[in-house]
């Protein structure tokens, strides 16, 4: 399909989800189901063997809570948002969070996922992108000047892998995609009261008191690697080897890793990183700003080595907003347009 773009103002999480479903169908995705559930909405679509499972929450807790309810998903719900994950099949007889082939939290039978935290009503605006190669990105200005996002793709840009590596990300982990109200303890949270960090770039900083820590970095990005790399397939970017963090059995890390709570964690310094470039990639000598791809690495065997696995093809770390550009501006390079948001840019097409 050709690259496509849509924007507008959604009236609720359900409205945003149904808008996304219509966009995906127009881009060649097959809808397996799209219907109301609870007070929100549930949708399942597929393309090229990859299934996306989505649930809009309307003052609900949408993620399963089969273990300690204070330890993971929907910790401060009910609330509003969209939760989702990728998988490899669909069954109308199964719950939205029980579809085949999705990431499973370590030591658990429950799905791991991510999402986007939203207000109960209208947002300042949304932007939906498809780069023409089925890399889908949704960016929402949830309140004036505060941006959040989620997205997914059928294949990362290649780094020598033997098969396509599907991926998905959210600006909130499952634990906080429907979190209601202010964070306990006055903690800041990317994608809720701060603009989200770049997609795929780092674990989501959440408030928590687990193991005596003030901040708890949970998984908000997942990549499906080949079985030779990891038999359970899905790697994730939380900072803890626990079900509570959304850990799916093996670490994934981004070259940016902008979240200070995960820097230097788990020997992540063993692969090339952008950390020391933070705050330095905007240009002052001319009207421009560098676009850097967000490379991902996986720990091939715990305690062994980090291997490159590619990058999401249409997302770039960028610091243009606030340095000569405003959110939503178009940055044109060589006949190709990129839309600029706080901390990142999205390929929009020619």
List, for residues 70-116, the tens digit of each pLDDT value: 444 566 678 999 999 999 999 999 999 999 999 988 877 788 999 99
pTM of the model: 0.92
CA angle 299, 154, 262 (to 5 degrees): 35
Per-residue pLDDT, 197: 87
Per-residue pLDDT, 337: 93
Say how far apart CA 304 and CA 285 lie, in whole Å: 43
pLDDT (tens digit per residue) in 1-29: 789 999 999 999 999 999 999 999 999 99
Task: Report if residue 282 sits inside a domain.
Answer: no
Containing structural domain, residue 142? 4-251
Task: Report if residue 140 sits inside a domain.
Answer: yes
Task: Report if residue 315 sits inside a domain.
Answer: no
Any idea which of 152-161, 248-257, 262-271 has the lowest mean pLDDT?
262-271
Per-residue pLDDT, 307: 86
Task: Report if residue 267 sits inside a domain.
Answer: no
Task: Report if residue 218 sits inside a domain.
Answer: yes
pLDDT (tens digit per residue) in 132-142: 999 999 999 99
Any idea which of 51-55, 274-278, 316-320 has the lowest mean pLDDT?
274-278
Say how far apart CA 250 and CA 301 lie, in whole Å: 8
Task: Report if residue 264 sits inside a domain.
Answer: no
Structural contact between residues 86 and 100, judged by C-beta atoms closer than 8 angstroms: no
Q: Is the pLDDT of residue 222 over 90?
A: yes
Task: Report if residue 50 sits inside a domain.
Answer: yes
pLDDT (tens digit per residue) in 157-211: 987 778 899 999 999 988 888 887 666 556 677 888 889 989 998 776 655 444 4
Structural contact between residues 117 and 82, judged by C-beta atoms closer than 8 angstroms: no
Q: Is the pLDDT of residue 265 over 60?
A: no
Per-residue pLDDT, 209: 43
Any idea which of 79-88, 206-215, 258-267, 281-290 has the lowest mean pLDDT?
206-215
Mean pLDDT, the chain, rounded, equals 85
Task: Report if residue 96 sits inside a domain.
Answer: yes
pLDDT (tens digit per residue) in 310-344: 999 999 999 889 888 899 999 888 889 999 999 99
Q: How many domains is the chain built from?
A: 1
Say how far apart CA 174 and CA 171 lie, in whole Å: 10
Q: Give, as one character, the DSSP assignment of residue 183.
A: P
What Å distances lie between residue 33 and 29, 169, 301, 340, CA to CA? 12, 22, 38, 33
Per-residue pLDDT, 267: 55
Element of type H or E holding 15 = helix 13-26
- Residue 160's CB: how many other CB atoms inside 10 A? 8
Longest dimension (CA), the chain: 59
More confident residue, 301 or 314: 314
């Amino acid at each position: 399909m050709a690259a496509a773009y849509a924007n507008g103002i959604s009236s609720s999480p359900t409205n945003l989800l149904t808008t996304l479903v219509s966009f995906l169908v127009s881009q060649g995705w097959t809808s397996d189901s799209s219907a109301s559930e609870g007070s929100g909405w549930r949708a399942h679509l597929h393309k090229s063997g990859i299934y996306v499972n989505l649930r809009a929450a309307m003052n609900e807790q949408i993620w399963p809570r089969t273990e300690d309810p204070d330890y993971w998903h929907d910790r401060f719900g009910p609330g509003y948002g969209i939760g989702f994950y990728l998988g490899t099949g669909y069954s109308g007889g199964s719950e939205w969070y029980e579809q085949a082939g999705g990431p499973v939290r370590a030591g658990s039978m429950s799905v791991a996922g991510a999402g986007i935290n939203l207000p109960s009503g209208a947002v300042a605006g949304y932007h939906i992108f498809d780069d023409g190669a089925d890399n889908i990105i949704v960016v929402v200005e949830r309140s004036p000047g505060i941006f959040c996002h989620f997205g997914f793709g059928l294949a990362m840009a290649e780094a020598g892998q033997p098969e396509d590596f599907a991926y998905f990300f959210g600006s909130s982990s499952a634990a906080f995609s429907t979190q209601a109200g202010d964070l306990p303890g006055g903690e800041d949270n990317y994608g809720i009261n701060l603009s989200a960090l770049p997609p795929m770039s780092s674990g989501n900083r959440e408030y928590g008191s687990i193991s005596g820590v003030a901040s708890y970095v949970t998984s908000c990005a997942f990549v499906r690697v080949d079985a030779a790399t990891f038999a359970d397939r899905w790697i994730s970017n939380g900072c803890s080897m626990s079900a509570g963090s959304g850990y799916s059995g093996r670490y994934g890390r981004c070259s940016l890793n902008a979240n200070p709570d995960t820097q230097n964690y788990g020997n992540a310094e063993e692969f090339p990183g952008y950390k020391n470039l933070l705050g330095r990639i905007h240009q002052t000598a001319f009207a421009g700003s560098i676009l850097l791809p967000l490379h991902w690495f996986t720990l091939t065997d715990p305690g062994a080595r980090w291997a490159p696995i590619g990058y999401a093809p249409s997302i770039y770390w960028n610091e243009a907003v606030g340095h000569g550009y405003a959110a939503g501006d178009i940055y044109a390079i060589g006949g190709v347009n990129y839309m600029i948001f706080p901390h990142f840019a999205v390929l929009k097409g020619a």
